[in-house]
C-alpha cells in the first residue's frame, strides 16, 4: 500500500474546526456525552484527516466566507446557525467535514459506552446472533414453485 | 522489454472467475500463469480488527477505486453515469470486497428474448450451468437452506445464517403480506469448512473478513490451484494482449511490481479482469490487424454494460435489531422477480433484506440524507435510529443497451500511463418503472414491519459493483464477442470468462453465476483440447 503524507491544518484552521465541532455535535448532559470539540475527540479528528485534509480545508474556507471572517471569532449562536445550515448542504467539502467529525465522535470510548456498547473492534470477539424461529418459513414452504420454466 | 518463459495458459485477473478457471484447468497439467495487478491481502489488516473499522470504508477500504486510490487500483471516469463503479484489485479481486450474497440467476434469465420478447437469449441455459453452480457452491463453501420455491432445487453445503432479530422482523412482515421470502444463500461459512473458520458475526463482511469465514477466492480456489501447480504473480498490471502474424494471441505485455515492462508469451490467453477491466484491455490492444481493439469485429466490446440499479429503502422500528452485529445479509424475496404482464415493466427484481448498519455509518448516512440534524437536536434523533434500522435493497434486472458502454478515456490514464475506462451509462425507462415498483413494495414491507421515518434516495443509488455484458456471448459473430463456450470469435486462442460475457444480467448479485460460467468454459476447454483453436 502506498503511503501518502498530508499537510496538517494551520492553527487558525484548527481553531475553526474546533469551533464547528463544538456546535455541530454539542455535549449533552442527559445522554452523558461530550461535544465533538472535546480535546480527545478533536485530536482524533486531526490525527486521522489523511486523504480528507483537502476537502476539510475547503470546507473551513467556505465557512469563513459565510462567517465573513474567521469562523472561530463568531459567538456561539452565530456559529450554530451558520455551521448547522452549512453541514446540511450536499457539497463534497461539507459532507466530508461532517463525516470526519462523526467517524471520530462515534468511536470515542465515552460515546460508545453511552450507547450501551463495548468499545472494541468486532474482531476477534465477534457478536452473537440469535437463531430465530424457523417455523416462520412454513407458509412459504407451502407455496407452489415461483420460477418460470425456460424453453 | 524483458521476455519471460512461454506458458501454456495465461490468465489475466485472479478474482471470482480467474481463480475458478485456474483451479479447473490445473488438472490438465498445462503450465498456467495468472497475472494479478493487486496484492495478496492480509486478514489481520482488515478493518474489523481495529477501532476505525467503519471509517476505513470511506478510505483505504472504500468500494470505489477512485476513492480508495491504492497504488494497485486504476482510475475510472464514471462522471457520465448515475451509477458509480465499485471493484477491488487484489488476489481474489472483487470477492475480497463483496458482501457475499449468493443468489443464482434464474432459468428465465437465460431466455429473456424467448420469454419476454426483449434483449437476447443466452446460447447456454440454466440446466447446462447447474452442475457448475453446484460444484462452485462446494468449492466456495456456501451457506443456505434447500427448498426455496423460487428456484430449482439447490444444495447449499452449510446451514443458513441465523434469522436474528432483524430477519425475524422482516419474516413476520412478509408473512403478513403473503409474499415470498427465504434466508439468503451466502458465501459465508456458518460451520468450519475446508480450513475456514465459522462466522462469528464481525458484521463487516464487505471490506474483507478477518475471521476468514467469507469465501473470497484467495482463501478458497487459490490455495488449491497453487498446490496443483498454477503460478500466481501479484502486482503485475497487463497493458495489452499481443497478437502474431496469424492473428492469434501470442501473450501479454505487463508491468511487474518494479514497474519493468515485460512480455509474457502464452499459447492461450484467458481474460478474467471483470466487466470493466476486460473490455478496457481489449480496447487498449490495438494493432494494424485489429485497429478497433482486439476481438472487436462486432463493434460490441465495451457495449451493453449492465450495472444493476439498486435503490435502498430504509425505516426505523421501535426495538433494537442486529445492525452491524451480524453479516449484513439476511433474507431475499423473489415475489416480484418474474415478468408479470399486469405491471408496467418487463422483468423484475430481487428484494435484498439487510440487517441494518453500524454506529458510525448510521450517523454519517443519516446526516448526509438529512434524517439526523446537526446541533442540539442531533443526539435524540440519532439515538432513535442507531440499531433500529431496517433496510431493503431492490436489485433491478438491468437489460443490455448498446449505448450503455465503456470507452477509453482520451485523457485519464492509470499510474502506468495506460488509458483508463470511461463509463457512459443511463438507466432505462423500463428499469425506472421497475425501481418505482420496488420502492413502493419496500415501503409496504417496512410499514408492515412497524417502521417509521421511511426513506429512499433516488439519486444516491447503491452501486453494487456488478459489471456485466461488455463482451457478450453468442452464436452470431456479428452480434457477440465470444462464442457459446467463451472463445473469441476473432482470435481463436483468446477466451473471456468474467461477467463481460453475460448476455443479460438478471436481478441478482452475479458472482455465483460468473463462477459457474467460468467453470463451464474451463470444462469446455478441457473437453476440446485437441481441437481448441480450430
Interface contact B30, partner A, CB < 8 A: no
Among the partner residues A119, A127, A147, nearest to B326 by beta-carbon distance: A127
Residue B293 CA to residue B405 CA, distance in Å, equals 15
- Chain B positions touching A141 (Cβ under 8 A) are 147, 149
- Chain A positions touching B338 (Cβ under 8 A) are 146-148
Q: Do A115 and B326 touch (CB under 8 A)?
A: no
Domain residue ranges of chain B, discontinuous segments joined by +: 2-150+186-306+400-427+464-531
- Chain B positions touching A126 (Cβ under 8 A) are 200-202, 211
Q: Give the CA distances from residue B491 to residues A47, B277, B334, in Å, rounded to whole numbers and listed in that order.
A: 53, 18, 40
Q: Do B378 and A147 touch (CB under 8 A)?
A: no
Question: What one-character DSSP code corresponds to residue B80?
Answer: E
Among the partner residues B108, B326, B375, nearest to A23 by beta-carbon distance: B375
Among the partner residues A121, A129, A150, nearest to B49 by beta-carbon distance: A121
Using DSSP bridges, classify how beta strands B2-3 and B261-271 pair: parallel, antiparallel or unpaired. Answer: parallel
Residue B462 CA to residue B168 CA, distance in Å, equals 24
* Secondary structure of B102-160 in HEC code, one letter for each residue: CCCCCHHHHEHHHHHCCCCECCCCHHHHHHHHHHHHHHHCCECCCCCCCCCCCCCCECC
Closest CA in chain A for residue B172: A136
- Chain B positions touching A113 (Cβ under 8 A) are none
Is residue B404 classed exposed, middle or buried when 0-12, 13-18 and 19+ CB atoms within 10 A define those classes?
buried
- pLDDT band per the 50, 70, 90 thresholds, residue A2: very low
Question: What one-character DSSP code corresponds to residue B234?
Answer: -
Q: Is the pLDDT assigned to residue A1 strictly greater than 60?
A: no
- CA angle at B63 for the pair B58 and B65, rounded to the nearest 5°: 95
Cβ within 8 Å of A, B 156-185: 161-165, 167-168, 171-172, 175, 178, 180-183
Q: How far is B378 from chain A, CA to nearest CA, in Å?
A: 7
Closest CA in chain A for residue B152: A147
Cβ within 8 Å of A, B 299-338: 322, 324-326, 334-335, 337-338
- Pick the closest to residue A9 from A75, A72, A79, A102 (CA basis): A72
Q: Do A148 and B150 touch (CB under 8 A)?
A: no
Interface contact B126, partner A, CB < 8 A: yes
- Chain B positions touching A150 (Cβ under 8 A) are 107-108, 110-111, 114-115, 125-126
Q: How far is A74 from chain B, CA to nearest CA, in Å?
A: 16
Among the partner residues A25, A127, A134, nearest to B201 by beta-carbon distance: A127
Could you give the ipTM of this predicted complex?
0.96
Q: Do B149 and A128 touch (CB under 8 A)?
A: no
Mean pLDDT of A85-107: 97
Residue B85's pLDDT is: 95
- Chain A positions touching B88 (Cβ under 8 A) are none
Q: Is the pLDDT assigned to residue A44 strictly greater than 60?
A: yes
Q: Give the CA distances from residue B514 to residues B3, B36, B93, B480, in Å, rounded to whole numbers and listed in that order.
A: 32, 18, 13, 18
- Chain A positions touching B151 (Cβ under 8 A) are 147
Provide the number of CB pairs (under 8 Å) joining chain A to chain B: 192
Query: What architecture does CATH give domain B2-150+186-306+400-427+464-531?
Result: 3-Layer(bba) Sandwich (3.50)
**pLDDT below 70 — which residues of chain B?**
none
Cβ within 8 Å of A, B 457-516: none
- Pick the closest to residue B471 from B449, B458, B486 (CA basis): B486
Q: How far is A59 from chain B, CA to nearest CA, in Å?
A: 15
Cα radius of gyration rounded to whole Å, chain A: 23
Amino acid at each position: 500500500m502506498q503511503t501518502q503524507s498530508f499537510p496538517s491544518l494551520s492553527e487558525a484552521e484548527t481553531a475553526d474546526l474546533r469551533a464547528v465541532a463544538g456546535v455541530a455535535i454539542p455535549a449533552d448532559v442527559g445522554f452523558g456525552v461530550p461535544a465533538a470539540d472535546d480535546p480527545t475527540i478533536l485530536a482524533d479528528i486531526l490525527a486521522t484527516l489523511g486523504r480528507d485534509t483537502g476537502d476539510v480545508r475547503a470546507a473551513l474556507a467556505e465557512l469563513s466566507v459565510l462567517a465573513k471572517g474567521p469562523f472561530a471569532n463568531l459567538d456561539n449562536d452565530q456559529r450554530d446557525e451558520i455551521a448547522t445550515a452549512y453541514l446540511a448542504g450536499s457539497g463534497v467539502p461539507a459532507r466530508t467535514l461532517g463525516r470526519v467529525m462523526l467517524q471520530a465522535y462515534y468511536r470515542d470510548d465515552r460515546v460508545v459506552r453511552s450507547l450501551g456498547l463495548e468499545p472494541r473492534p468486532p474482531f476477534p470477539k465477534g457478536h452473537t446472533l440469535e437463531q430465530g424461529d424457523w417455523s416462520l418459513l412454513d407458509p412459504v414452504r407451502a407455496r407452489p414453485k415461483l420460477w418460470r420454466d425456460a424453453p | 522489454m524483458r521476455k519471460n518463459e512461454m506458458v501454456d495458459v495465461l490468465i489475466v485477473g485472479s478474482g471470482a472467475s480467474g481463480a475458478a478457471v485456474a483451479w479447473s484447468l490445473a488438472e490438465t497439467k498445462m503450465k498456467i500463469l495468472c497475472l494479478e495487478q493487486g496484492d495478496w491481502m492480509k486478514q489481520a489488516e482488515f478493518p474489523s480488527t481495529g477501532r476505525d473499522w467503519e471509517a476505513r470504508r470511506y478510505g483505504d477500504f472504500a468500494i470505489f477505486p477512485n476513492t480508495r486510490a491504492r497504488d494497485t487500483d486504476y482510475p475510472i471516469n464514471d462522471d457520465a453515469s448515475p451509477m458509480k463503479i465499485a471493484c477491488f484489485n487484489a488476489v481474489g479481486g472483487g470477492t475480497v470486497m463483496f458482501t457475499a450474497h449468493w443468489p443464482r440467476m434464474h432459468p428465465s434469465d437465460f431466455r429473456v428474448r424467448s420469454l419476454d420478447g426483449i434483449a437476447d437469449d443466452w446460447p447456454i441455459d440454466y440446466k447446462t450451468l447447474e452442475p457448475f453452480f453446484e460444484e462452485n457452491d462446494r468449492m466456495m463453501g456456501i451457506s443456505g437452506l434447500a427448498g426455496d420455491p423460487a428456484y430449482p432445487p439447490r444444495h447449499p453445503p452449510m446451514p443458513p445464517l441465523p434469522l436474528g432479530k432483524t430477519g425475524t422482523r422482516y419474516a413476520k412482515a412478509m408473512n403478513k403480506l403473503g409474499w415470498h421470502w427465504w434466508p439468503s444463500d451466502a458465501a459465508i461459512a456458518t460451520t468450519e469448512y475446508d480450513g475456514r473458520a465459522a462466522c462469528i458475526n464481525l458484521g463487516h463482511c464487505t471490506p474483507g473478513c478477518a475471521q476468514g469465514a467469507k469465501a473470497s477466492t484467495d482463501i478458497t480456489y487459490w490455495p488449491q490451484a497453487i498446490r496443483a501447480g498454477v503460478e500466481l504473480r501479484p502486482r503485475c498490471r497487463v497493458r495489452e494482449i499481443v497478437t502474431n502474424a496469424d492473428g492469434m494471441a501470442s501473450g501479454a505485455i505487463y508491468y511487474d511490481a518494479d514497474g519493468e515492462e515485460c512480455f509474457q508469451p502464452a499459447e492461450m490467453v484467458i481474460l478474467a479482469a471483470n466487466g470493466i477491466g476486460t473490455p478496457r484491455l481489449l480496447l487498449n490492444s490495438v494493432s494494424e490487424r485489429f485497429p478497433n481493439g482486439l476481438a472487436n469485429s462486432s463493434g460490441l466490446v465495451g457495449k451493453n454494460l449492465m450495472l444493476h440499479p439498486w435503490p435502498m429503502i430504509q425505516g426505523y422500528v421501535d426495538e433494537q435489531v442486529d445492525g452491524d452485529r451480524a453479516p449484513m445479509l439476511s433474507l431475499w424475496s423473489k415475489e416480484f422477480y418474474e415478468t408479470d404482464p399486469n405491471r408496467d415493466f418487463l422483468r423484475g427484481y430481487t428484494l435484498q433484506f439487510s440487517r441494518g448498519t453500524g454506529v458510525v455509518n448510521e450517523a454519517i448516512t443519516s446526516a448526509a440524507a438529512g434524517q439526523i440534524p446537526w446541533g442540539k437536536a442531533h443526539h435524540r434523533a440519532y439515538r432513535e435510529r442507531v440499531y433500529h434500522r431496517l433496510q431493503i435493497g431492490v436489485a433491478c434486472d438491468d437489460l443490455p443497451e448498446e449505448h450503455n458502454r465503456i470507452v477509453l478515456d482520451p485523457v485519464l490514464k492509470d499510474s502506468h500511463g495506460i488509458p483508463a475506462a470511461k463509463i457512459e451509462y443511463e438507466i432505462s425507462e423500463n428499469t425506472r418503472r421497475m425501481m418505482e415498483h420496488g420502492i413502493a413494495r419496500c415501503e409496504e414491507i417496512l410499514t408492515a414491519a412497524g417502521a417509521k421515518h421511511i426513506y429512499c434516495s433516488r439519486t444516491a443509488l447503491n452501486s453494487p459493483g456488478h459489471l456485466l455484458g461488455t463482451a457478450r456471448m453468442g452464436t452470431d459473430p456479428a452480434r457477440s464477442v465470444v462464442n457459446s463456450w467463451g472463445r473469441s470469435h476473432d482470435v481463436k486462442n483468446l477466451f473471456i470468462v468474467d461477467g463481460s460475457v453475460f448476455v443479460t444480467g438478471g436481478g441478482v448479485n452475479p458472482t455465483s453465476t460468473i463462477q459457474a460460467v467460468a467453470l463451464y468454459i474451463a470444462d469446455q476447454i478441457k473437453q476440446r483440447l485437441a481441437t481448441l483453436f480450430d
